[in-house]
Structure 1
Amino acid sequence: MAWRLKLVPEKTSFDFFRYQIVTFSISVAMIVASLLSVAVYGLNFGVDFLGGTTIRTESTEAVDVGSYREALAGLELGDVSITEINDPGFRADQHVTQVRIGAREGEEAATPELITEIEAALKAVDPAVIFTSVESVGPKVSGELIWKAILAVVAGSAGILVYIWMRFEWQMAVGLVAACVHDVIVTVGIFSFFQLRFDLSIVAALLTILGYSVNDTVVIFDRLRENLAKYKTMPLREMMNLTTNETLSRTVMTSSSTLLVLIVLLIWGGDVIRGFVFAMVLGVVLGTWSTLYMAKNIVLYLGIDRGDKPKKTATPDEYANIDA
């Protein structure tokens, strides 16, 4: 018989509602703390949302980010961010950096003359440096991107609500969307608290988190629907515990295998995708938590109508006066 890895025994009997008030309170506290963090600290928006210019440089010499920053300090550029990009696919003599320059007041983006000055300043400390790409985003466009990002997340959540409502019970739809909103808000709150850069790639991660959280929770709700028809007299709380234990192996295996890939990307994937991957790691952890301890709690609080209507069966009297 082939050996199989088992992270969870085939049959478990964990009581996921034993501390339901505590676990649900933790989820609510995380949401409140995240909203407060966004209100107090705000988000560290990237050039995508603030407007400005992103310059990608390449050099055959080792990059000294400190010397790059000192070289640009005299140009009065305002908000400048310089990061070295590491990628396993780069050559040994290929050193890449990304220079982000925030838009200055009254300007849509860096002018060609300013780009020339920046290039000259960097060449003074690194003669081998070249600009491989220059991208600019104006403040008007960046403002539109913020609203479109918000609308994308809201539209995704609304679409999920409608689909689950039609596919399952409305209580399950409310629980699932609440869990998804929890995952998104807490992820944004963590980015706000630690002032991590928030750009379009993070918005893409948030939408991916919505899909992941839905997939994880729907598996449990689908099994719950089967058990509702199978165990008509079992109390809802016991049935939801049974359902969660029956699907626990799948939940743990999916989350752990996804995290394994994401952690590898987080360590060796390079700076370009690090923000996206970190948001995804948060989403997987929070999605598993909300699936086990939030979505089900809401369904239990709301309750499910289990009053099965008996099928109407004909009696002899109904057909007594019908002509053959």
Structure 2
Amino acid sequence: MRLMKLVPDNTNIDFLRWKLFAVVTSLLLVGASIFCLATRGLNLGVDFAGGQMVQVTFAQPPQLDELRTRIGALGVGDPTIQEFGSPTTISIRVPRAQDETVEQANAIAASIRGSIAQNYPGSRIDSVETVTGKISEEFAWDGALSVLLAMLGVAAYIWIRFEWQFGLGGLVSLTHDFIIVMGFYSLTQIDFSLNAVAALLTLIGYSLNDTVVVYDRIRENLRKYRKMAIEPLLNLSVNETLSRTINTNGAVLVAITALLLLGPDVIYDLTIGIFVGVIIGTYSSIYVARFLLVPLGVGPDSFVPKDPISRAARGPRNETDDGARV
């Protein structure tokens, strides 16, 4: 039986035809993401903001304004109350107080549980998370440091394996993806928790995998087609790896879509981050990581030895009777 191919072997798409459109699109997306981050910020989860988050399943959908008033009357600050997957499942988050101790945090969580049990019979406390200020600051620092080190490590790896232009192109591509995904979290105000950091780290590793494969094909073609101009060579390299990109990214998107539709709400901020990151990463791996090599000066002579010594310059090869070179 003949296998079905999503991308024919003779595919020859001129990706550079839309390079101006791609540049404008990237600038708009990055600019809009930075604007959202500056004006709206991130909806930091309890992991980073600190405080208490109580997830409750009610027997009947509660009136959110009434529930907010009752929780606020406990003197725990201005609570954030949202539906969590269904009208009967509610997430209650209260901010941490300044210099709040573990004992005080536990007392606040206990008062919230007691108020719900008293005013809403039949309700069930599904989970209680309490994070103090010191722990939330450690989480924020460790999360930011892990993302930064991962990005620098990826750039260093590509630099060592290929050339500095490839390393810089990979770093710019990762930064492009990172800013846009962060802008998506800011625009939608989805909780930005440790799950979101895990999504960003997954995106960095996944983007590295695709980038290295394509960069290796570009280097191979640079050595193979010495007289080919750099832009047609990049187009050729993209088309040759297009089947692999579509098959791999398509399979990942199918799995992530299943998690988005059927998976638990507790990992929604993780799955949505990976879903958006794969789409943006696929686009940037074509138009940012690869074609950024042109302005960085990569050309047909990039992988030519600096001072090649031809066989003619070395003179004829003389061998003794036993085959040894003299």
Q: TM-score, normalised by structure 1?
A: 0.86
Cα RMSD after superposing both structures: 2.5
Q: What's the secondary structure of 2:93's corresponding residue?
A: strand
Number of the residue aligned with 1:238: 232
In the alignment, is the contact (CA less than 8 A) between 2:51 and 2:105 conserved in 1?
no
Number of the residue aligned with 1:90: none
Give, in angstroms, the shift of residue 75 of structure 1.
Answer: 2.0
Bigger mean CA deviation after superposition, 186-195 or 155-164: 186-195
In the alignment, is the contact (CA less than 8 A) between 1:65 and 1:84 conserved in 2?
no
Give, in angstroms, the shift of residue 196 of structure 1.
Answer: 2.1
In the alignment, is the contact (CA less than 8 A) between 2:228 and 2:300 conserved in 1?
no
Give, in angstroms, the shift of residue 97 of structure 1.
Answer: 5.0
C-alpha distance 234-167 of structure 1, shift in aligned 2 (>3 A): same
In the alignment, is the contact (CA less than 8 A) between 2:56 and 2:123 conserved in 1?
yes
Distance 1:275 1:224 in 2: 35
C-alpha distance 305-17 of structure 1, shift in aligned 2 (>3 A): closer
In the alignment, is the contact (CA less than 8 A) between 2:53 and 2:91 conserved in 1?
yes
Distance 1:226 1:65 in 2: 64
Bigger mean CA deviation after superposition, 200-209 or 102-111: 102-111
> Can you give the 5+ residue segments of structure 2 that lack an aligned partner in the other structure?
320-325
1:224 partner letter: I
Distance 1:318 1:305 in 2: 37
Bigger mean CA deviation after superposition, 283-292 or 66-75: 66-75
Number of the residue aligned with 1:134: 128
Distance 1:24 1:65 in 2: 48
C-alpha distance 115-41 of structure 1, shift in aligned 2 (>3 A): closer
In the alignment, is the contact (CA less than 8 A) between 2:84 and 2:91 conserved in 1?
yes
1:101 partner letter: V
Bigger mean CA deviation after superposition, 189-198 or 232-241: 189-198
In the alignment, is the contact (CA less than 8 A) between 2:230 and 2:300 conserved in 1?
no
C-alpha distance 111-14 of structure 1, shift in aligned 2 (>3 A): closer
2:80 partner letter: V
> Can you give the 5+ residue segments of structure 1 that lack an aligned partner in the other structure?
87-94
Cα distance per residue 1:191-216 (max 9 Å; x no partner): 11232221111011011111111111
Residue 107 (str. 1) matches residue 65 (str. 2):
no
Map 1:115-194 to 2 at 5 A.
115-131=109-125, 133-194=127-188
C-alpha distance 65-276 of structure 1, shift in aligned 2 (>3 A): farther
Cα distance per residue 1:26-52 (max 9 Å; x no partner): 212222221222112211111111111
Give, in angstroms, the shift of residue 68 of structure 1.
Answer: 4.5
Number of the residue aligned with 2:315: 315
Give, in angstroms, the shift of residue 272 of structure 1.
Answer: 0.5
Distance 2:211 2:38 in 1: 30
Number of the residue aligned with 1:220: 214
2:92 partner letter: V
Give, in angstroms, the shift of residue 112 of structure 1.
Answer: 3.9
Number of the residue aligned with 1:91: none
Bigger mean CA deviation after superposition, 15-24 or 75-84: 75-84
Distance 2:55 2:317 in 1: 86
Q: Percent identity?
A: 35
Give, in angstroms, the shift of residue 145 of structure 1.
Answer: 2.0
Give, in angstroms, the shift of residue 20 of structure 1.
Answer: 1.3
Give, in angstroms, the shift of residue 152 of structure 1.
Answer: 1.2
Residue 207 (str. 1) matches residue 205 (str. 2):
no
C-alpha distance 177-192 of structure 1, shift in aligned 2 (>3 A): same
Map 1:37-116 to 2 at 5 A.
37-57=36-56, 61-62=59-60, 64=62, 66=64, 68-69=67-68, 71-77=70-76, 78-84=78-84, 97-108=90-101, 110-116=104-110
Distance 1:318 1:35 in 2: 67
In the alignment, is the contact (CA less than 8 A) between 1:69 and 1:82 conserved in 2?
no
1:55 partner letter: V
Give, in angstroms, the shift of residue 106 of structure 1.
Answer: 4.5
Residue 293 (str. 1) matches residue 287 (str. 2):
yes
1:225 partner letter: R
Distance 1:270 1:113 in 2: 29
In the alignment, is the contact (CA less than 8 A) between 1:63 and 1:84 conserved in 2?
no
Distance 1:40 1:304 in 2: 38
Number of the residue aligned with 2:31: 32
In the alignment, is the contact (CA less than 8 A) between 1:65 and 1:82 conserved in 2?
no
Aligned length in residues:
310
Q: What's the secondary structure of 2:288's corresponding residue?
A: helix
C-alpha distance 217-316 of structure 1, shift in aligned 2 (>3 A): closer
C-alpha distance 317-208 of structure 1, shift in aligned 2 (>3 A): closer
In the alignment, is the contact (CA less than 8 A) between 2:229 and 2:299 conserved in 1?
no
1:276 partner letter: L
Q: What's the secondary structure of 1:148's corresponding residue?
A: helix
